[in-house]
Structure formats: structure tokens, C-alpha cells
Amino acid sequence: MTRGAALAGLVAGALAARVGPVAAQPRGAAPITAPVAAGVTVDWTRGVVIARGLGPADRHAPSPAVARVAAERRAIDQARARLTAALAALPRVGPPLTDAARAALAREVEGAPIVARDLATDGSVAVEVGLGVEAVRQAVAGPRALAAGSDEGAAAVVVLDGRAAGVRPAVGLTVGAGAWAGPITFVGAPPAGQGAPRPITAATAGALTVAGAAPPAGARVVVVVTQQP
């Protein structure tokens, strides 16, 4: 059995535009992951939702190679169907989904790339399809509005500590009473080389309150949360 592109390749390559840069996790710290539905997992640290699909081989096919073509299509269809269903269960804050948001999510799912592929010797195929969490947020809320030139150069990284405030990973969290919205990833400990994280003093109705100014436009936010068992 051979293995296709690994999840690391997803973050570094195929989903770079959808997921965005990922903050380094401290050595030895596990990523924050959680099951969303059958066959679907969200990795809050890498910022991606992974759906798995399995395509059995047609035993009447003349060869495993021939069976594999249809098996892969079935595996992809199952993974995308699971991903579509799971998005409704993905932790999210904000208003109910509109018809336009549902249509945007459907387009994102249809375009979500295959990030891993297992080919069995009998012609059956297992795949993993990945969709960036930030792509989900933008499908619902729309793209971020940036000032002219604010997206040039490396994005500012703002590390916040949400452990005392009991922050839990979710799509659509904002910072500074809704003043900032954008890509947020979640880690179990402060990443090295970013300085001391700013404490989150409250988390109410999806808004994270911090002392001082909200993150700048174009920034990405890393939130330290308590590791869940």
C-alpha cells in the first residue's frame, strides 16, 4: 500500500492559500485536534479540516488498475459528502448560515484538494480531503477588508493566551469587541520566539477581549488554549 501526500504537504503546499501560514508548535506539544463527525477531524493548530473517504474495488473489474479509477472517484465523493455534512457541526460563532454562505461553503468543499491517497493492491482507494478553517470563515463572513498595502510583506503574528478565560477553538472568533477578524490558529503552549503572549481577559459571544489595541489588519492570531484530553 502506498501513501500519497502527507498532511505536512497540505499545510506547506496545496492549501497554502486557504490555510495560510502556521505558527510553529512548541517541541513536544501535540496539535489541538478534535473529531467533528464520522471520518472528519479538525486540526485547529494547522488550521485544516480533514475528511476521509473509502472507495472499495469492483471485484468484477478486469484488473486492480482498472478498478482503482472508479474506486478513487467513490472515495473522493464520500470524503466530500462527509466534509459537507461535518461543516454544520464544526464549532462556530456568529449568525446562522445564509443561503449565500451555504453556496460559498459548497464551492469550497468542491474545490478542496486531496491531501493523502492510499492505493491498495486489490484496487480499493482511501483518500483524505482537506479544507482550510480560514476558508470556512471567509465563506461565511466574506473576505477580510485590508487597507492598501497592508498585505505586503510577512503577516504580523499576534499571540494571545486564552487559558485563563477558558477560550475554546471555534470558527469566527473576533478580537477586540469585533474590531478584528481573520485567521486564528490554536496551540497548547506559547510558541517559541514570539515573546510573551497577551492575555485574553474575557471571551463573550465569540469576542475575545484583550488589553490594548486589536491586532493590525492583515495579521494572523495564535491563541493558546488548554489542551483537551
pLDDT, averaged across the chain: 85
Say whether pLDDT at 19 is over 70.
Answer: no
Say whether pLDDT at 2 is over 70.
Answer: no
**CA–CA separation, 90 and 97 (whole Å):** 12
Say whether pLDDT at 106 is over 70.
Answer: yes
Instruction: Report the pLDDT value the prediction gives residue 111, as an integer from 0 to 100.
Output: 95
40-43 and 33-37 beta bridge pairing:
antiparallel
Residues 47-103: tens digit of each pLDDT: 999 999 999 999 999 999 999 999 999 999 999 999 999 999 999 998 889 999 999
Residues 136-166: tens digit of each pLDDT: 999 998 877 666 655 555 678 999 999 999 9
Instruction: Report the pLDDT value the prediction gives residue 216, as an integer from 0 to 100.
Output: 87
DSSP labels, the chain: -EE---HHHIIIIITHHHH---PPPPTTPPP-EEEEETTEEEETTTTEEEEEEEE---TTSSSHHHHHHHHHHHHHHHHHHHHHHHHTTS-B-SSPPPHHHHHHHHHHHHHPPEEEEEE-TTS-EEEEEEEEHHHHHHHHH-PPP--TTTTSSSPPEEEEE-TTTT----BT-EETTTTEE--EEEESSPPTTS-SPEEEEEEETTEEEESSPPPPTT-EEEEE-PPP-
Instruction: Report the pLDDT value the prediction gives residue 110, as an integer from 0 to 100.
Output: 96
